[in-house]
Amino acid sequence: MEAESPPKVQKPFKLCNHNREIRKGVVASSLEDLTSKVQEKLDVAVDNSFTVVLEADGTEIDDEEYFATLDPNTSLMILNGNQKWLPAYPTCNLSKDQVDAAKGDELAGLVGRLKTNLCHLSLLGGPELELLSDMDPDSLADLTYPDKIFLDQLKEASGRFLCEKRQAQDAMDLLRLYQEKEAAESEAN
């Protein structure tokens, strides 16, 4: 007579895609069970490779033993192909009567992303840098981010980056004009 293996415990999990736009709930008893449900719930093609990670910190879940230690309702992220885990951007609540709604939401999102990873400041374009350099740190500090020193430094740094970008653009425009003049002179000769 064969010994019956104990039934696998079904646990609920919260799934999301890499940018956290799609969220689904599933119940799974094993990592294999979870991966088959991921394909169904998040429309992942069977032949696509994907990785299951903890949404909170990006820890990869790649074996049944670790999967068995997960608590019920753990939030998991599904990464397809070369997608990488990134921390969630904090949500920000701005008072609509203090800041124009569209600009306020954009500014709050920018500050939230930069608070998470300040390296992104050097990658911003002119409009974003202008928005940051024109912000009022006092109004944001009261409503969204209690760290006024960070906001003051962010405003100052974005102003510097904006100035440097404008100087670089001016230099490129001057160089372009010089090249056009040289080309026109060589055609005339």
Query: Is the Cβ–Cβ distance between 37 and 26 less than 8 Å?
Result: yes
**pLDDT-above-90 percentage for the chain:** 14
Query: Is the Cβ–Cβ distance between 75 and 55 less than 8 Å?
Result: yes
Q: How far apart are CA 129 and CA 127, in angstroms?
A: 6
Going by C-beta distance under 8 Å and a sequence separation of 6 or more, which residues neighbour residue 138?
Answer: 148
Q: How far apart are CA 93 and CA 144, in angstroms?
A: 6
Give the pLDDT band of residue 12 (cuts 50, 70, 90). Answer: very high
Beta strands 74-80 and 50-54 are: antiparallel
In the structure encoding, which two tokens stand for residue 124, read together?
A: 């911003």
What are the pLDDT digits (tens) for 51-64? 899 988 889 999 99
Looking at residue 60, the DSSP 8-state letter turns out to be B
pTM score: 0.47
| Domains in the chain with CATH codes | 11-80 (3.10.20.10), 101-188 (no CATH)
Q: Which residue has the tokens 């909170």?
A: 56
Q: What is the pLDDT of residue 4?
A: 59
123 has a pLDDT exceeding 50: yes
Count the helix, strand and coil residues of the chain and give each as a percent rounded to the nearest 5.
50, 15, 35
Identify any residues that bridge with 14 across adjacent strands, giving them in sequence order: 25, 75
Phi, psi of 111 (to 5 degrees): -65, -40
Three-state DSSP class for 156?
helix
Q: Give the containing element (helix H, strand E) for 27.
A: strand 23-28
Q: How far apart are CA 103 and CA 122, in angstroms?
A: 20
In this predicted structure, which of 35-49, 91-105, 126-140, 141-155 has the lowest mean pLDDT? 91-105
Q: What is the pLDDT of residue 156?
A: 87
Q: How far apart are CA 39 and CA 18, in angstroms?
A: 14
